[in-house]
Amino acid sequence: MDLASAKAVISGGASGLGLATARRVIDAGGHAALLDINEEQGAKSAEDLGERAVFIRTDVSDEGGVRTSVGEAAKFMGGITLAVNCAGILIPERVLGRDGPGSADSFSKVIQINLVGSFNVTKEAAAVMQANEPNTDEERGLVVSTASVAAFEGQIGQASYSASKGGIIGMMLPIARELARFGIRVNTIAPGIFLTPMMEGLSKEIQQSLGAQVPFPPRLGRPEEFADLVATIYGNAMINGETIRLDGGIRMQPK
């Protein structure tokens, strides 16, 4: 598929990996709908991207809200050919902390946003994609979800985050197998340590320290590198049912 004609719905699209992906699509000539809960940043980002972008306030954990937002996105763009799940949160918490056992509510919140949210966007976008005219490879669309290296090497305090990201990887293959009959591919990217808004809040010293842990290149990943991988997957019909680590070779330590 050609990114120049992409119609992308991107959760978490107001900033970070999602915004970089939206910019990559827009720069190629496509359209992008930014689904995010941050209204101020979302509106600003869509304005910066231009007339082929739109912001739609969306809580990805709200199934009905996602259905409405995806419908609005499809109407704005004239369809959907790409869905990218970037919305996510991290609530660090030990299972047994100083004040006692961790909170099931916090654990559930992370699962609802990261895992259930990705499922919600995936299924609603796929429902629109199935009506697309197939290209010469019989493709109708692509879904890319964002996992994390924490799915494989979760650190202490990341039980909920690792569980949510592991769930994203776990559901990817059965969904890819199911949607294959519609010509819809499903893949997952598992980033390492990237310079996202959460990381930008840390001091330069801490950022450099984290980057130095990456074997090569010894730095934090750039959101544009994530976006480049999404573009590569979009253009290569043989990449399907796959989880791709994008991490510079890092393997996370316990803490």
Q: Whole-angstrom Cα distance, residue 15 to residue 94?
A: 28
Which residues have CB under 8 Å from 109's CB, separation 6+?
A: 89, 91, 160
Look-up: residue for tokens 């697309």? Answer: 132
Q: Which of 161, 182, 226, 234 is catalytic?
A: 161
Per-residue tokens: 13 = 């699209």
Residue 150 backbone phi and psi in degrees, to 5: -65, -20
Q: Does the active-site annotation cover 234?
A: no
Look-up: residue for tokens 């959760």? Answer: 11
Helices (H), 78-221: 104-110, 117-129, 159-179, 197-200, 204-211
Beta bridge partners of 185: 142
Answer yes or no: are the C-beta atoms of 29 and 81 closer than 8 Å: no
Residues annotated catalytic, as ranges:
161
